Amino acid sequence: MRVFSRYVEAVTALNNRIGHLSAFLVIPIFLLLLLEVGLRYLAGSPTVWTNELAQMLFGAYVLLAGGFLLANGGHANVDILHGRFRPRQRAAVDVFTSTLMFAFVGALLYFSSSMAWESVSRLEHSMSAWNPPVWPLRLLIPIATALLLLQGLAKLIVDLQVLFGRTPPQSAGTLSAEDAS
């Protein structure tokens, strides 16, 4: 059991670290959009690169947030029902619905890996006037998906522990201490 607890703690810590670091991507996104608005409306000289770079940074931000959100209970669920369940009932529903999550994330990992491999092998660029490389962002898709898959497995371990009456590790981030009892 200690191996499972260490796994949950390590994966949750990794996703929390990545989530906190990726949150700083909001700053350059904001600055790029502010620059574009200023150049467009104040100087009358819009750029060809600021919007595309802001979109690429936002894509990285969204991708890297997946594991962090799952670790901290930030993904959407039907709280009107889910919130009324007792912790063990919630855990049972989450174990059942995790099969859907694993099917989706597994398919996403499979298909995005081949897309990323092809993009990296061609050193793919966008087709815009600015023409930046897009292969790093495409490579980030399977990496972020793998982090989400690892966190999904950690959540499943915690849910199974709750379901079978064991106390999950505190750093799991998915349940509070009172939920575990």
- 66-108: pLDDT as tens digits: 999 999 988 777 677 877 888 899 899 999 999 999 999 999 9
Cα four-point dihedral sign 175, 159, 143, 76: negative
Query: Rounded to whole angstroms, how far apart are CA atoms 55 and 153?
Result: 30
Per DSSP, what are the bridge partners of residue 50?
none
pLDDT exceeds cutoff 50 at 42: yes
Both tokens of 15, joined, read 């996703």
What are residue 105's phi and psi, to 5 degrees? Answer: -65, -35
N-terminal to C-terminal alpha carbon distance within the chain = 18
For residues 96-125, average pLDDT: 96
- Which residues does 76 contact at the CB level (< 8 Å), separation at least 6? none
Per-residue model confidence (pLDDT) at position 168: 67
SS3 129: coil
Per-residue model confidence (pLDDT) at position 83: 77
127-180 tens-digit pLDDT: 999 999 999 999 999 999 999 999 999 999 999 999 998 876 555 555 443 444
List the one residue out of 5, 16, 37 whose CA is nearest residue 147: 16
Per-residue model confidence (pLDDT) at position 27: 97
8-23 tens-digit pLDDT: 999 999 999 999 999 9
Per-residue model confidence (pLDDT) at position 180: 43
SS3 125: strand
Per-residue model confidence (pLDDT) at position 34: 95
Q: Rounded to 5 degrees, what angle do the CA atoms 150, 152, 154 make? A: 70
